[in-house]
Amino acid sequence: MLTRYIKVNSLNLEPEKIEETAKILKEGGLVAFPTETVYGLGADAFNPQAVRNIFKAKGRPQDNPLIIHIWSNEQLDKLVKNIPQKAHVLMNNFWPGPLTVVLPKKEGVMSEATSGLDTVGVRMPDHPVALKLFQRSGVAVAAPSANISGKPSPTGGLHVLKDLAGKIDVVLDGGSAKVGVESTVVDCTGEIPVILRPGGVTKEEMEEVVGEVLLDPALHRKTFKPKSPGMKYSHYAPDGIMYLVVGKSIKSLAEKLADISMKRYQAGYKVALLAFEDTLALIGEKPYIKLSLGSRDNLSITAAKIYGLLRQCDRLKIDFIIAEGCPRKGMGLAVMNRLEKASGGKIIRLQD
């Protein structure tokens, strides 16, 4: 299959390009599109063959449901049975935006998209190209992230092309994703909202508008089965072996990160150290590659660059990635979730 790569200006929206792509989407094609979180790989959510093609193109496990993307609240009627009060509050406050709300699904929503669950995850992304594309296609769009399953998510059109050229119809490139990590998935089927996957909207931000919000226990204890099927799979993994080092003291972190990196480097491996600016400053000049996670005081920037850094390591054919962790507060929760998954759980915890 020939994949068309179409660059589109997010400001003037070049209507003929959007129109052309919307037609492909409507007719059952696979279209990668920009959102504020990461790039999505979309198909008409009510076309079973098109939805099956998404799983095929990505190599995605069948039991990992897709998020259904909409451009207007009116579309919810066709997708969900009822909307509890707290879900309304969350949607009113964070849509369009990086929040996926899991609700009881309406009959007629295909099990291909929801992997047979009786719930459906719905989101309205905050990106003019995505919203215009959906609106012009007239369909609700089932879409996971537009990467090969298990690899780091795509935050630019060229990332998508690298992973999926030849497997999908169109890559609509609208520039780099500004949030950089996926949406927060929140289960609103019970009394208290439960975060199934941390993401672009923080727990603290949600609590401000809706009161108590819980975390799915599977997010911090391996013994629990996650309610979000996708969370059990290996994800975001770079080609190299990755270690994540966590601790409180920046001095101890710097020493440990430098020590592990140097030993691997001296053994002849290609090593990349991923750490915060102040840690890198303590470590100083080294012969291996050092990449900055930004400032630990602004983890939104870390989130925006994390997948790009992991993909850069793949381009550089890095054998070992040694990464620094951060506290699980605010955006730190989503950043740590991605780093933990990317490292396949190889975490070194420092005592002080």
Using CB under 6 A as the criterion, which residues of the chain lie in contact with ligand AMP when the complex forms?
A: 64-65, 67, 102, 114, 117, 119-121, 144-145, 182, 185, 196-197, 227-231
C-beta of 41 vs 283, nearer to ligand AMP: 41
Question: Which backbone phi and psi does 116 adopt, to 5 degrees?
Answer: 80, 5
> Residue 55 Cβ, how far from Mg ion at the closest point, in Å?
12
Pick one of Mg ion, ligand AMP, none as the site partner of residue 231 (Cβ within 5 to 8 A by kind). ligand AMP
C-beta of 137 vs 145, nearer to Mg ion: 145
Pick one of Mg ion, ligand AMP, none as the site partner of residue 196 (Cβ within 5 to 8 A by kind). ligand AMP
Helix 299-315, helix 157-164: angle, nearest 10: 40
> Residue 350 Cβ, how far from ligand AMP at the closest point, in Å?
30
What SS3 class is residue 288? Answer: coil
> Residue 219 Cβ, how far from ligand AMP at the closest point, in Å?
11
> Residue 84 Cβ, how far from Mg ion at the closest point, in Å?
26
C-beta of 228 vs 302, nearer to ligand AMP: 228
Is the four-CA dihedral 228, 232, 237, 241 of positive or negative sign?
Answer: positive
352/349 Cα distance (integer angstroms): 9
19/95 Cα distance (integer angstroms): 24
137/118 Cα distance (integer angstroms): 26
C-beta of 145 vs 228, nearer to Mg ion: 145
> Residue 210 Cβ, how far from Mg ion at the closest point, in Å?
25
Residue 228 binding Mg ion, by CB under 5 A: no
Element (H, E) at 31: strand 31-33
Cβ count within 10 A of residue 48 = 15
C-beta of 48 vs 289, nearer to ligand AMP: 48
Q: Answer left, alpha or beta for residue 317, where phi above 0 means left and psi between -120 and 50 means alpha.
A: left
- Decide the pairing of beta strands 170-173 and 31-33: parallel
C-beta of 67 vs 246, nearer to Mg ion: 67
What is the per-residue binding string for Mg ion in 133-172, x denoting contact by CB under 5 A? ------------x---------------------------
Q: Cα–Cα distances in Å, from 53 out to 29, 62, 97?
A: 9, 11, 26
Q: Which residues are near Mg ion by CB under 5 A?
A: 145
